[in-house]
Amino acid sequence: MLILDNEIDDAVLLILSALHADASDQESHRGEPGLSLARLSKRTELRMSTLRRHLTALEDAEIVSLVVNEDGTGRAILTPYGMAIFDALDESQSADMV
């Protein structure tokens, strides 16, 4: 589940943060856009099954675009809508710290 008691799940925040950092780093996009699922799992320290469950929910919400190959590998990238949501969350957290 993405939201628990009006708070965003920590795992979802980790995923969004990693995908946002990747999208912001233009030099890392020599090949395909987004992060491989293996790299995203490593960066977030989430088990692949947990990561895939959250990514499916984020894709259903049109926050993340997910491409999964027949061999089980794949890539995840924030959609423009996902970028806007992350930016709004980041601004909200910054405002709360003031």
In a domain, 1, yes or no: no
Query: What is the pLDDT, as a whole number, of residue 1?
Result: 42
For the residues of 4-60, what is the DSSP string, one character each? ETTEE-HHHHHHHHHHHHHHH-GGG-SSSSSEEHHHHHHHHT--HHHHHHHHHHHHH
| pTM of the predicted structure, to 2 decimals | 0.80
| Residue ranges making up the domain that contains 87 | 9-25+32-97
- Read off the CATH number of the domain in which 79 is found: 1.10.10.10
pLDDT interval class at 97 (50, 70, 90): low
pLDDT interval class at 7 (50, 70, 90): low
Query: What is the pLDDT, as a whole number, of residue 4?
Result: 45
What digits encode the pLDDT tens for the residues 24-82?
Answer: 876 555 677 889 999 999 999 999 999 999 999 999 999 999 999 999 899 999 999 99
